[in-house]
A = this chain, B = another copy of it.
Amino acid sequence: MASKHKIIFQPEGKRGEFVEGTTILDAARDVGVDIEAICGGKLTCGKCQVIIEQGMENLSPVTDDEKRLLDRRKAGKNYRLACVTKFYGDVVVYVPEESRGGEQIILKEGVELSVAINPAVKKYYLELPKPHLKDDLGDFERVLAALREDYGIGDVEIDYEVLRKMPDVLRDSDWKVTVSIWNDKEIIDIQPGYKAEESYGLAVDIGTTTVVGYLTDLRTGKVMAVDSMMNPQVTYGEDVMSRITYAMQYEDGLEKLNQKIVDGLNKILENVCREAGISTEEVCEMTVVGNTGMHHIFLKINPQHIAIAPYVPALHCSHDVKARDLGLNITKGGYVHVLPIEAGWVGADNVAVLIATEPYNQEEMCLVIDIGTNGEIVLGNREKLVSCSAAAGPALEGAHIKHGMRAATGAIEKIRIDPETLEPEYKTIGNAPPRGICGSGIIDAAAELYRAGIVKKNGRFNLDLDSPRVREVDGTPEYVIAWADETSIGHDIVMTQKDIREIQLAKGAMCAGAHILMKELDVEHVDRVIVAGAFGNYIDKISALIIGLVPDVPVERIESVGNAAGVGARIALISREKREEANRIARNVEHIKLAVHPSFEKEFSMAMYFPHMDRKRYPSHEEVLKMRGAE
C-alpha cells in the first residue's frame, strides 16, 4: 500500500492525507480549497502558484516548463505551481490571494459587502507558434486556436480596431501576447508580452453636481486611484431639469452637454491613470451610473421625453457601448457598461446603490437614502421594494450655500456649538485653516444651530440671543462659524438664513419622500436606514436624526456608507453576476412618482421643520438631543 502524507492549506488551515505522488491541486480540490487553475494543468496560465511553507524537500522537482511560468510571474523562490507539483511527504502550502479561485472581496467597510470577482474583461497570455510556409494560418485564427488549446475558450469575435493592430502586435512581440476578452465573446484588446496581471477598469458615478471616477484593479477589485470634479455641465444649468431645457431649446444643446461630460470623463481618466502610472489605453472597460437625466445626456439620447409625462426613458436595461462611439479614450476596442435605470429620475445611480447595499436580500425593513441634487429613496426588504426620487437640490453638496464647498482640504466637515456659550468648535479636512463647509459640515451646522436654539424648528433665526456670532447683515440673519482671521480666505465663514432655507428644502424633500414610501408600504417605522451620498465625507448620523433628514430610528441602525453609487459602479466592474442582478432589480422596484403623489405637498411642507412638524413621528427626538449633549 502506498504511504499517505499530510497536506495543510493556509491561511484556511484545511487539511487532508493523500497517497504520495498526488498533485497539490488535486489535494486542494479534494479538501475544498479553491485554487484558480484556468488552463486545467496545461502549464499555460500559471495561475495556480502557491507558496510552500514547509516540506519543500518533499516535492517533485521543478520542470523547465514550470520554471518558465514561475519566472514569467516573477514568483519568489518558495513558489510552485499546484497543478504539476506532486508531494511525497508532509507539506504546508500557503495559497496566496491572487491564486484563490472565486475570490471574494470586501468593497466597503461599515456595510460589509463581499463580491466574488468575475469581471467582464479577462486577460489571457498566449505564446503562439510562429507561422511558416507549411503553417500559414491567419493571425486571428492562430490566436483562436491558441485560446482553445491553452484555455479551452471557444470561438470568440474580434473588435475591428483590435483586428487592425493584431498583425503588427503579434510580430513585434515575437508572438507572445496577452488578449483581453469581453464577456467571453469578443477580443477587445491585444497587448505585446505578458500583461495578464495588469487589468484595469474605470467606474464612474455621474452626479448632477459631482462626478467621481475610480480606477480599479479588475483582478482584486482594489481602487488604485480616485478623481472627482464638479460636473462640467453645471455651466448649462445647476439641476437636471434646466439642463434638459437647455438641450431642448438649442439645436446643439444636447451635443454640447454631452461633450462636456465626455471631456470631463476623459480628464478624470487621464488623472487617475497618471496617478497609477498606467496609460489610458490600458483601461479595458468602464462602468457608468447616473440618474436618468445624466444617463441620457451621457449617451447623447434626447432627454426631453423623460421630462414630460408619462416620463418614459429610452431604455431601462443596461447597455454596452463601444467607448470609441462615445469618444472615451480607454482601449480602442473597450466597452462602456451603463447600468440599468428604474423609472422616472430613479436611475442607474440608484440601481448601483441597491447592488451595493442589497436591501432586496434583507429580512428587515430597510430605507436607503442616496443624497444628491436628485435624491433617491428606496424602501423595502426581500419581499418588495418601492422607490422615489426627490429634487433635493445641490445644497447638501455645498452648492447654493454661501460658504459651501466640496470635500477638500480646508473644508469644515464637523461642527459642534455649545448651547450655553453659542461658541462653535469645528474640524477641517486636513486640519487646515477653514476655506468653507462641505456636506457633512452643512448638516452638522443645521443640527447644531437648531440644538443651540439659534435656529428655531421652523428654520428661522432667533435674533434675541446675546452672541457676536449671531448677527444680521443687510437684513439677513447669519451665524459666524469661523472669524476671518482663523480662515485661509480672509473673511468670516457663516451660515445664513438663506442657507438654512436651502437645507430645509433639501432635507424636506428627502424626508417627505421617505415618509410617503413608508405609507405606501404601510409601515410605521423602519428597521434600518442606509445613508449614501457622494457629497464629501460621511455625514454625522446624530446630526441627520436631529434635523430629521432621516425618519426616526435608533441611531445605531443608521449606516452612513458614503458614495454607494460609486461602490455599485465598482461592483459592476468586477462582477458579471452583479450586472445581471442589477438588471433584475431595476425591473422589480416599484416606482412612486412623488411629483404627482396626492400627499406630497403636505408631507413636504411638514418635513421642512426640524425635525418634523408632526413631532409624533420623531418620538426619540429628545433622547437624540441628549445623546449629542453627552458626546
Contact = CB atoms under 8 A, between A and B. Distances in A.
Interface of A: 131-133, 135-142, 158, 160-161, 163-164, 166-168, 171, 299-302, 304-305, 309-317, 319, 321-322, 325, 341, 343-344, 593, 596
Nearest to A324: B325
A210 B171 CA distance: 33
Contacts of A164: 299-302, 314
Contacts of A140: 314-317
Contact of A322 (B135, B160, B168, B304): B160
Given A167-B301, A167-B305, A310-B131, A315 B139 contact: yes
Contacts of A133: 309-310, 593, 596
A136 B310 contact: yes
A315 B136 CA distance: 11
B322 A138 contact: no
A307 B185 CA distance: 31
Contact of A321 (B160, B171, B312): B160
Given A140-B316, A160-B322, A163-B315, 17 more contacts: A132-B310, A136-B311, A137-B316, A139-B305, A139-B314, A140-B314, A140-B315, A140-B317, A141-B316, A141-B317, A160-B319, A160-B321, A163-B319, A164-B302, A167-B304, A167-B305, A168-B302
A160 to B, nearest CB: 5
14 contacts: A131-B312, A133-B596, A136-B311, A136-B344, A138-B314, A139-B313, A139-B315, A140-B314, A140-B315, A141-B315, A160-B319, A160-B321, A163-B301, A163-B315
Given A164-B301, A299-B164, A310-B131, A138 B321 contact: no
Query: How many copies of this chain are found per oligomer?
Result: 2
Contacts of A325: 160-161
A192 to B, nearest CB: 15
**What are the 6 A-B residue pairs with the smallest beta carbon separation, nearest first?**
A140-B315, A138-B316, A160-B321, A138-B313, A131-B312, A138-B315
Nearest to A593: B133
A587 B66 CA distance: 36
A68 B313 CA distance: 30
B314 A166 contact: yes
Contacts of A341: 138
B310 A171 contact: no
A17 to B, nearest CB: 51
A322 B161 CA distance: 11
Contact of A139 (B135, B138, B158, B312): B312
A178 B166 CA distance: 38
Given A136-B343, A325-B160, A167 B310 contact: no
A596 B132 CA distance: 14
A392 to B, nearest CB: 23
Contacts of A310: 131-133, 135-136
Residue picked from A160, A161, A168, A313, most chain B C-beta under 10 Å:
A160
A131 B315 CA distance: 13
A197 B555 CA distance: 66
